[in-house]
Amino acid sequence: MTLVLGGARSGKSAHAEALVETSPAPWTYLATAQAWDDEMRERIALHRARRGEGWVTRDVPTELAAAIREVRGPVLVDCLTLWLTNLMLGGADLAAASEDLASACADAAGPLVLVSNEVGLGIVPDNALARAFRDAAGRLHQRLAREADRVVFLVAGLPMVVKPAGGHA
């Protein structure tokens, strides 16, 4: 499992797609985004257009662990922070969902690449909901990074390997 982290527009999705495409197709893209507005619909369309042939897309805004368990072959999850947002808005038990996700990732039947936004590098949010989200994302990232074979952090389109394959962080 590879965990790809970075800020908004850091190049993490394109990098993750390239990682998955080193395995034979078909590749499964588990999309957690929901098209709430025109901007998000446009962003989703751009991602789909960039992927091209060989990709099978499944929309899984909340049931991510179950989807990972079902798929055979290379999988890209994009992205964990939107999944976390969907769960928070639905009032889910984030700790239980995160553990279920980690378990599903450990049992994945093929190469797995997870994309997530690193949201903990900025100022302390001014409201309780944003702080709870930042904290939940940080806990999720730590949990998955422990289990990951490799962790990559993207800055300005440049990948920095935080945990090399076979490494211990």
Q: What is the pLDDT of residues 127-149, one digit of tens each?
A: 999 999 999 999 999 999 999 99
Could you list the residue range(s) of the whole structural domain that residue 48 is in? 2-156
Report the CATH number that the domain containing residue 25 is assigned in CATH: 3.40.50.300
Q: Is 10 annotated as a binding residue?
A: yes
Give domain status of residue 148, yes or no.
yes
User: Is residue 77 within 8 Å of residue 113, measured between CB atoms?
Assistant: yes
Give domain status of residue 166, yes or no.
no
Which of 15, 47, 141, 168 is flagged as catalytic?
47
Q: Is 11 annotated as a binding residue?
A: yes
Give domain status of residue 167, yes or no.
no
- Residue range 76-102: mean pLDDT, rounded: 97
Global pTM?
0.92
- Name the domain count of the chain: 1
Report the chain's mean pLDDT, rounded to a whole number. Answer: 93
- Residue range 158-162: mean pLDDT, rounded: 98
Give domain status of residue 165, yes or no.
no
Banded pLDDT at 40 (limits 50, 70, 90): confident
Q: Is 78 annotated as a binding residue?
A: yes
Whether 47 is catalytic is yes
